[in-house]
């Protein structure tokens, strides 16, 4: 009660208690508003099969373009690995995937990375750097300005197929000083913060297929708690080796025609796909105060 007495002076104990309750109610209401404050999406970037940016992705969806294709020999040999029987040992029951046209083009020096280190970096990390930069450009946010405040990075990533290719090579000489950081999922978010000089919270998240969605959810929570003023959130996935597809085939999870038929009585599995998506987030009140271009609002 001593702090209450100091704040409300010579009032009677009853009036002090009433004013203290009103004050506490106002604080709780403010806290509740902050907890439920909408989050503004002020920028975005993506690389998905058939589309290299959000505008191309919108056209792809608007025109009903099917970007699924047969797995090319540059990934693995269908002649050796495909069998229509999902229970065939060592075989996969799908010939299809949603694949990017190119995953081996990257300008490391743009990000201050040596070509030697870039070779050891999982393509998922390379994509994240490129698409995060594009999303910030889309948002009109310069890295220098973001580095002066608290900007968080929240990334979903679940696969490690690039590392598997290193292991399968059987040459210990390929495991150089850059390998551990190049294939670590924990570094996927950290590298973005490091390259851009960001000072906010940083988290890599693996919850399987929901990883990117959970990353965005976690970013929203951190923004509402005031842990950061802006956030970069999203994820990446790359399909490089057949082992996962073989395992999924054994579980009868792969659609034979390579098409997802969600919420349909014809549903008979899914098709693997790859890509990267990033959104730049702020609390709606901050986005309005900063005159940011608001693309959409997350209210849930």
Structure tokens of 193?
């913060």
Q: Distance between CA 207 and CA 25 in Å, rounded?
A: 37
Structure tokens of 289?
């105060």
Q: Distance between CA 167 and CA 175 in Å, rounded?
A: 9
Per the CB < 8 A criterion, the answer to whether 106 and 126 are in contact is yes
Residue 262 falls in which region: left (phi positive, over 0), alpha (psi -120 to 50) or beta? beta
Does the pLDDT value for residue 26 go beyond 80?
no
Helix (H) or strand (E) holding 230: strand 230-237
Cα angle for residues 141, 101, 63 (degrees, 5° grid): 80
pLDDT computed for residue 234 by the predictor:
98
Structure tokens of 155?
């990334």
pLDDT computed for residue 149 by the predictor:
84
> Which one is predicted more confidently, 36 or 66?
66
pLDDT bracket for residue 142 (50, 70, 90): confident
Question: In angstroms, what CA-CA distances link 20 with 6, 28, 29, 30?
Answer: 11, 12, 14, 15
Helix (H) or strand (E) holding 60: helix 54-62
Residue found by looking up tokens 């050891």 in the block: 120
Query: Average of pLDDT values for 218-241?
Result: 97
C-alpha Rg value of the chain to the nearest Å? 24
> Which one is predicted more confidently, 10 or 222?
222
> Which one is predicted more confidently, 19 or 269?
269
Q: Distance between CA 1 and CA 195 in Å, rounded?
A: 50
Residue found by looking up tokens 């029987």 in the block: 85
Per the CB < 8 A criterion, the answer to whether 138 and 280 are in contact is yes
Instruction: Report the chain's terminal Cα–Cα distance, integer Å.
Output: 38
* Among the ranges given (26-30, 58-62, 136-140, 200-204), the one the predictor scored with the smallest mean pLDDT: 26-30
pLDDT computed for residue 10 by the predictor:
67
pLDDT bracket for residue 208 (50, 70, 90): very high
pLDDT computed for residue 222 by the predictor:
97
Query: Average of pLDDT values for 261-290?
Result: 96
pLDDT computed for residue 148 by the predictor:
79
pLDDT computed for residue 4 by the predictor:
52
Q: Is 38 exposed, middle or buried (0-12, 13-18, 19+ CB in 10 A)?
A: middle
pLDDT bracket for residue 112 (50, 70, 90): very high
Does the pLDDT value for residue 298 go beyond 70?
yes
Per the CB < 8 A criterion, the answer to whether 4 and 17 are in contact is yes
Average pLDDT in the chain? 92
């Amino acid at each position: 009660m001593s702090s209450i007495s100091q704040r409300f002076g010579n009032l009677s104990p009853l009036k002090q208690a009433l004013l203290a309750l009103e004050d506490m109610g106002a604080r709780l209401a403010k806290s509740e508003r902050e907890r439920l404050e909408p989050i503004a999406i002020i920028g975005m970037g993506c690389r998905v099969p058939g589309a290299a940016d959000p505008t191309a992705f919108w056209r792809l969806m608007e025109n009903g373009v099917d970007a699924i294709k047969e797995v090319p020999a540059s990934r693995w040999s269908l002649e050796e690995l495909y069998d229509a029987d999902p229970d065939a040992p060592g075989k996969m029951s799908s010939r299809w995937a949603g694949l990017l046209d190119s995953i081996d083009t990257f300008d490391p020096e743009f990000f201050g990375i040596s070509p030697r280190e870039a070779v050891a970096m999982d393509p998922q990390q390379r994509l994240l750097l490129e698409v995060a930069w594009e999303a910030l450009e889309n948002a009109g946010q310069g890295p220098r300005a973001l580095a002066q405040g608290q900007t968080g990075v929240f990334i979903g990533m679940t696969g490690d197929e690039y590392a598997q290719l290193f292991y399968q090579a059987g040459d210990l000489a390929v495991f150089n000083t850059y390998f551990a950081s190049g294939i670590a999922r924990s570094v996927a978010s950290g590298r973005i913060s490091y390259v851009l000089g960001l000072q906010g919270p940083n988290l890599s998240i693996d919850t399987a297929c929901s990883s990117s969605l959970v990353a965005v959810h976690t970013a929203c929570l951190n923004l509402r708690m005031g842990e950061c003023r802006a956030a970069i959130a999203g994820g990446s996935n790359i399909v490089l080796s057949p082992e996962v597809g073989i395992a999924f085939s054994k579980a009868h999870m792969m659609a034979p025609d390579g098409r997802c038929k969600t919420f349909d009585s014809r549903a008979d599995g899914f098709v693997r796909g790859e890509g990267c998506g990033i959104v730049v987030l702020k609390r709606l009140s901050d986005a309005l105060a900063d005159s940011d271009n608001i693309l959409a609002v997350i209210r849930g």
